[in-house]
Amino acid sequence: MPMEVGYLVDLLRRVRKYYTASLTITEGEFDGKIVVVVAGGVGREAARRAAGILLDGHRPSWIISAGFAGALNPEVARGDVALPAEIVDADGRRFPVVRPEPLGQGIRHLTGRLLTVDGVILTPAEKAELRQEFAADFVDMESSAVAAICAERLIRFLSVRVISDDAHSELPREVAKLIKQSGGRRVGAALRAIWNRPTSLKDLLRLQGQALEAADRLAQFLTHCLGQLPA
């Protein structure tokens, strides 16, 4: 989502923007490298479409699936940065991630297994069930789709995720509805959520603050890694 990559885009220089029917592609420079960012949307289908656009239009040396993730491992804390060593999905497909040896050195981060699912995981019980079934440490909704298209096209792939909620936290039920919306529709969905449950305003404001913190950490880690990625 735009919130996830906003801080990263702010750090790019000589920014240029291109537009498709549904996506904005932002191209800029950082540390001597050309960096292209697209907020592809939520879910595997949206992520694969965005990755395909990048691969067709820019011929990148690396594709990074970057954003937020939930923790399944109880030892993982909100705000931790994850650089998974393996991506799995609910269909049983596995995508080992080969990364340069120095990548991430100098900033604390976690490795482990990232599970990609098709819906928002709201409750600790759901997280515990997925942890037991897949032995995964983190969960998101996009990375396996990006890993799959990169494997097909023989493009080097990484996933970088900041933990937005730990394994013990329960997300408000409104999150599952809001995350599926975009632009003005998301605003409308938020207003309806507040109308139906006035106390949700406090929850949504808290989550927004946490999301901004996570986006800042994501940008810091990504820019640190950009200088360590070989061409």
CA gyration radius, the chain: 17
In contact, 200 and 192? CB cutoff 8 Å: no
Amino acid letter, residue 86: E
Q: What total number of domains does the chain contain? A: 1
User: Which residue range forms the structural domain that includes residue 122?
Assistant: 2-226
CA–CA separation, 52 vs 18, rounded Å?
A: 15
- pLDDT tens digits along 37-58: 998 888 899 999 999 999 988 8
- pLDDT tens digits along 111-130: 999 999 998 888 999 999 99
- pLDDT tens digits along 161-180: 999 889 998 876 655 555 55
CA–CA separation, 172 vs 177, rounded Å?
A: 10
For residue 118, CA distances in Å to 42, 141, 145, 195 come to 9, 6, 11, 27
Q: Rounded mean pLDDT of the chain? A: 85
Question: Is position 231 within any domain?
Answer: no
What is the domain-level CATH number for residue 74?
3.40.50.1580
Which range has the worst mean pLDDT, 42-46, 57-61, 195-199? 195-199
In contact, 35 and 60? CB cutoff 8 Å: no
Dihedral class, residue 89 (left if φ above 0, else alpha if ψ from -120 to 50, else beta) = beta
Kindly state the percentage of the chain with pLDDT values over 90. Answer: 55
Secondary structure string (H, E, C) spanning 136-170 = CCEEECCHHHHHHHHHHHCCEEEEEEEEEECCCCC
Q: Coil, helix or strand for 22?
A: coil
Q: Which carries the bigger pLDDT value, residue 200 or residue 100?
A: 100
Question: Is position 6 within any domain?
Answer: yes
CA angle (88 as vertex; 119, 98 as ends), nearest 5: 135
